[in-house]
Amino acid sequence: MSNGWILVVDDEPDIRALVSEILVDEGFEVEVAGTVEEAQLQRRRRRFDLVLLDIWMPDGDGISLLKDWAEQGMAYCPVIMMSGHGTVESAVEATRLGAYDFLEKPLSIAKLTLTVTRALEAERLSRENIGLKRKLARAVYPEGSSLMMGQLREQVDRIAQHDTWVLILGEQGVGKQTFARYIHDHSSRAEGPFIEVPVSAMTAAEAAAEIFGLEQGPRVRYGLLEQADGGTLFLDEVSHMDLQTQGRLLTALESQRLTRVGGTESLGIDVRIVASTQEDLRVRVTEGQFRDDFYYRLSVVPLRVPPLREHAEDIPDLLLHYVDLLNQQEGLPKRSFSQEACERLSVYPWPGNVHELRNLVQRLLILGNTPEVTLTEVEAALGAQPLALIQSSGQAAMDLTLPLREAREQFEREYFSQQLGHVDGSMTRLAERVGLERTHVYRKLRALGLEPKKTRD
């Protein structure tokens, strides 16, 4: 297996050949460019893991090119600058623009390989750190010691070993994303990216550019499908995807090639699909709202995640799990649950499933001031805000007679309104709090007609 893709940009053929030979011997795939124009073309063709960039070239300079990449949103990988007559000012400017390091010519083979290794390792550790934070935030292990959960985990472990598409079925709040991440983390693609497509937050007009990427003149935006290359693409609530995007995505995945919006070149991809839905896609197919060929391709391996009421014996384990998790994440005090409290929660129907249970535990940890959660507290918490009748201070309860989509939109609008109030308009804190990427949060707020009171990093 390749150690990654590296782009070598230098106007001297001998240096390009030497550096390429060294890197190929180290197990890397290498592409080369001798001009700024060729470098731009190569980066349009694929996402590289690292770029070695000369400063002086016939049609421009590496510093300006690095600046252009940063402005175009293409500064996603380490860049190592090279120069035979660089200055301190050049090195400082390159570092300011995001370059990882600066190598002087003539190049030392030992220093070159060491710097490349260190740059890639630093990038890997950075990604792992982000990934670990996300895993902790989203509890990527399906908790529960019941026979049902044990059998489900065994099924998921078997599924993870194959590269087939997976369709995860289940009610809202059962943890479909948790299982999607679990499949990815236990598959041969675990070292690759896990990219989420928030289908329900995208309009039909946005979906193509977001998923397939966009080319506008010299500017390139890599789409979610391209970002998932070598890993897993998770289509969250795939039932909301418009028919045109379904067809285009199916074609891209079956041919393993994509063309960005506004582009002309076909690019190779290698992606596994895991999708989720709480709706019956067969009904959507009958209604003409979902392509039958896409449905049959998705449902090769269906996985049903049961609602919490079907494995209520896992509730004590889940309570302990979320107490520990919220203590680690938010510094909330640890509290135990009395026997009576556990028994009451075990017979509650949990219409919001595991997500509702987590929210209830969070509320009890915030509001309580004793080491143990009592039955009285649980009754008060369940009576104050059961998910079946969601309401906030001064507002009416949700109208449960609404169609599912309208009810979901009403809930999401109220949910994000409340969360915005907790973070004082900070989009970074809001993204962390709700467990979504910032770009997805912006899109969701726009779709719901909400505006943050103020936006800051």
- Fold agreement (147-304, 390-457): no
* pLDDT tens track for 19-68: 999 999 988 989 999 999 999 888 888 888 899 999 888 888 888 888 88
Q: Looking at 29-43, 73-87, 186-200, which range is the least confident one?
A: 73-87
Nearest to 143 by CA among 316, 6, 261, 367: 316
Instruction: Take residue 78 and report the two structure tokens written for it.
Output: 């380490």
Average of per-residue pLDDT values in the chain: 84
∠ CA 238-244-250, rounded to 5°: 65
**Sequence-distant (≥ 6) Cβ neighbours of residue 169 within 8 angstroms:** 176, 276, 277, 278, 302, 303, 304, 305
**Is pLDDT of 385 > 80?**
no
| C-beta atoms surrounding 282 within 10 Å | 12
Q: Which CATH architecture has domain 308-386?
A: Orthogonal Bundle (1.10)
410 vs 2 pLDDT, higher one: 410
Q: Looking at 68-72, 157-161, 293-297, 314-318, which range is the least confident one?
A: 68-72
* pLDDT tens track for 135-167: 544 445 788 889 999 999 999 999 999 999 999
* pLDDT tens track for 96-109: 777 888 888 888 88
**pTM to 2 decimals?**
0.64
Q: Are strands 267-268 and 101-104 parallel, antiparallel or unpaired?
A: unpaired
Per-residue pLDDT at 393: 36
**Is pLDDT of 410 > 90?**
no
Nearest to 77 by CA among 28, 141, 124, 39: 124
CB 105 within 8 A of CB 10: no
Report, as an integer, the average pLDDT of 343-349.
91
Topology adopted by domain 390-457: Arc Repressor Mutant, subunit A (1.10.10)
* pLDDT tens track for 107-134: 888 899 999 989 888 887 776 665 555 5
* pLDDT tens track for 201-235: 888 878 999 999 988 877 788 899 998 999 999 99
Q: Are strands 50-54 and 5-9 parallel, antiparallel or unpaired?
A: parallel
* Domain limits, the chain: 5-131, 147-304, 308-386, 390-457
Topology adopted by domain 5-131: Rossmann fold (3.40.50)
Report, as an integer, the average pLDDT of 307-317.
93
Residue with tokens 């890993």: 231
**Is pLDDT of 363 > 70?**
yes
Homologous superfamily, domain 147-304: P-loop containing nucleotide triphosphate hydrolases (3.40.50.300)
